[in-house]
Amino acid sequence: MKTEFELGFSSEDSEVVEGVSGLNFNQTIDCTLMTSENQAEIGVQGWSISLAGDPGLDVVGITVDGTVAATEDEGGLRRGGFEKSELTEGEGNTGAVSAVILSFNDFVTLSVSGAETIARVDIRCPFPDVGVTENKVVRYVDGLRGAGQPVDNVITHGNIGSLPRKTAYEVTLRGVLAEFELAFAGENSETIEGVYGQVFTQAIDCTLTTSENQVVFGAQGWSISLAGDPGLDIVDITVDGTAAADEAGGGRRRGGFEKSELTEGEGNLGAVSAVILSFTEFVTLPASGTESIARIEIRCPFPEVDVTETKVVRYVDGLQGVGQPVENIITHVNIGVLPRKRAYEVELFGIDENAVTYDCNVDGRVNIADAQCLLNWLFLGGGAPGCQEAMNFNGDARLNIADGISGLNYLFLGGMPPAAGVGCQPYPSCDLQDTCGL
């Protein structure tokens, strides 16, 4: 059976890429070589490729960096050998070529079977007119010429040149008047510590950012669909306190329509929200900037002690509430626009319950002796509390006479309990006390 070779492309893209009409679409794509049906014990020794974009799409860069064609020192397979990659110019000759021999002195080859990235190219073209959809194609074409002779698409295997199958790369572009991004806003800049087994709960905002807007109007409405990765649940969604709230509630919605709900069922856990700011008037978000359009509450258990876990919420199309499956779409000047989508990550760290709140002398009991211990340390040069953080009775992050008074009020006058909670609680700055040992 004859060994088969196929030149193709690989990249991360969506079904349709939208961008502001007149601005440039830029993308980096991988040139790939697939080997199959190989009956020999050796792989490909070298290759030459020649590729071009269809009219209106330019190849503006080519490199072997980060591919198998790079040198061994740079993470590739090439051991000396030969490599020449360049853009080509001139009428009917615009594109790129690359020629690689993995080694002259040693028998170096690609894997016997499978796909490898052999080059990386940058492509560029303008987004089409507003509302217009265009398909742009990059394909392997023989005969483009750089500094040397015209280059054909040929694979060297067992010292024989073979002609590969060739698969084109196609991307669909659509012109819009503005760019939109769905994202989240919450307290996630630092790792959040919590006691193993207890529940982490956080409220985060769903945000919509408008940029590169060619008109003075913002979004008229939107639908969003979002879910947590396994282990993290969305337990509430609301538009209260956001731009999607009714005018009477401080938002921008003037009548219009709003439906926000949790979704249920296997593969369907998450939340959806659909908003139209007005049916009867032209009400929109600002023409640029970021607005909060919904607020969700997320929940998950803290991880095991000394374990760090990253929890993720992301926008995912297709979740279904009481209506039809919901896509992430923004309505702008009566056109549905696909937004970019950015996930939200929060890092959690599991800790022990390591100290008793207000137990200054670390005897496992909270009584008048602990108030006296604190006051002695504050004003009479006495020994420091066993866990200073645990003595912050009123939770204001300062240790002073107010904590002594608050503690005495709680113990003898029916005052409020400690802000951090009674008994063993997590205090990251303190060592584990015997009385709280697990």
Same fold for the pair 4-176 and 355-436 = no
Place of tokens 């001139």: 90
91 SS3 class? coil
Helix 401-412 / helix 368-379 crossing angle, nearest 10 deg = 170
Alpha-carbon separation of residue 227 from 222, 233, 344 (angstroms):
17, 8, 11
Integer Cα distance of 96 and 52 in angstroms:
6
CATH class label, 4-176: mainly beta
Count of CA atoms in the C-beta half-sphere (13 A) of 71: 7
Contact 177, 215 (CB under 8 A): yes
**Which DSSP symbol is given to 80?**
S
Of 93, 124, 150, 112, which is closest to residue 29 (Cα–Cα)?
A: 124
Q: What is the average pLDDT across 145-171?
A: 95
H/E element holding 179? strand 179-185
Residue 328 pLDDT > 90: yes
As a whole number, mean pLDDT of residues 396-405 equals 93
The pLDDT, as a whole number, for residue 432 is 72
The one-character DSSP state at 375 is H
Per-residue confidence (pLDDT) for residue 428, from 0 to 100: 76
- For 291-304, how does the pLDDT look when each residue is reduced to its tens digit (9 = 90+)? 999 999 999 999 99
Closest CA to 146 of 85, 88, 83: 88
What's the mean pLDDT in 339-361?
91
Q: How confident is the model at residue 93 (pLDDT cuts 50, 70, 90)?
A: very high
Would the pLDDT of 161 be above 60? yes
Q: What is the pLDDT of residue 437?
A: 61
- The tokens describing 300, both together, are 């998950």
Q: What is the pLDDT of residue 196?
A: 81
Question: How confident is the model at residue 301, as a pLDDT?
Answer: 93
CATH architecture, domain defined by 179-351: Sandwich (2.60)
Please give the pLDDT value at position 374.
Answer: 93
Q: Is the pLDDT of residue 74 over 60?
A: yes
Assigned token pair, 34: 């697939």
The reported pLDDT for the residue numbered 338 is 92
CA–CA distance, 202 with 313 (Å, rounded to integer) = 12
Tell me the per-residue pLDDT of 229-272, one tens digit each, with 9 for 90 and over. 999 999 999 999 999 999 999 999 999 999 999 999 999 999 99
Q: What does the radius of gyration of the chain's CA atoms come to, in whole angstroms?
A: 31
Q: Identify the pLDDT of residue 413.
A: 94
Across the range 337-355, mean pLDDT stands at: 91
Percent of the chain past pLDDT 90, that is, above it, reads 82
Q: Which residue reads 């760019």 in tokens?
A: 179
Residue in this structure with the two tokens 């990059």, named with its chain if needed: 138
β pairing state of 95-101 and 4-10: unpaired
Share of the chain above pLDDT 70, in %: 99
Q: Which of 155, 200, 219 is nearest to 346 (CA)?
A: 200
**Phi/psi at 330 (5° precision):** -115, 130
pLDDT at 325 over 90: yes
Rounded average pLDDT over 52-70: 96
pLDDT tens sequence across 303-312: 998 899 999 9
Token pair, residue 200, equals: 């982490």
* pLDDT score for 4: 94
Structure confidence by residue, pLDDT tens digits, 138-151: 999 999 999 999 99
pLDDT value of position 22: 80
Query: Are the C-beta atoms of residues 388 and 398 closer than 8 Å to each other?
Result: no
Q: Is the pLDDT of residue 96 over 60?
A: yes
Please, which pLDDT band fits residue 11 given cuts at 50, 70 and 90?
confident
355-436: in CATH 3.30.450? no
The confidence score (pLDDT) of residue 13 equals 61
What does the pLDDT read at residue 81?
94
pLDDT at 92 over 90: yes
Confidence (pLDDT) at 248:
94
CA distance linking residue 160 with residue 211, whole number of Å: 54
**Alpha carbon of 273 to those of 15, 186, 200, 437: distances in Å?**
23, 19, 24, 45
Domain positions in the chain are 4-176, 179-351, 355-436
Phi-psi region of 105 (alpha: psi -120 to 50; beta: other; left: phi over 0): alpha
The average confidence (pLDDT) of the chain is 93
**With 70 as the cut, is the pLDDT of residue 26 above it?**
yes
pLDDT in tens, 175-213: 999 999 999 999 998 999 887 878 899 999 999 999 999
DSSP 107-174: -----SSEEEEEEEEEEEEE--SBT-EEEEEEEE-TTEESSSSEE--EEEETTEEEPPEE--EEEEEE
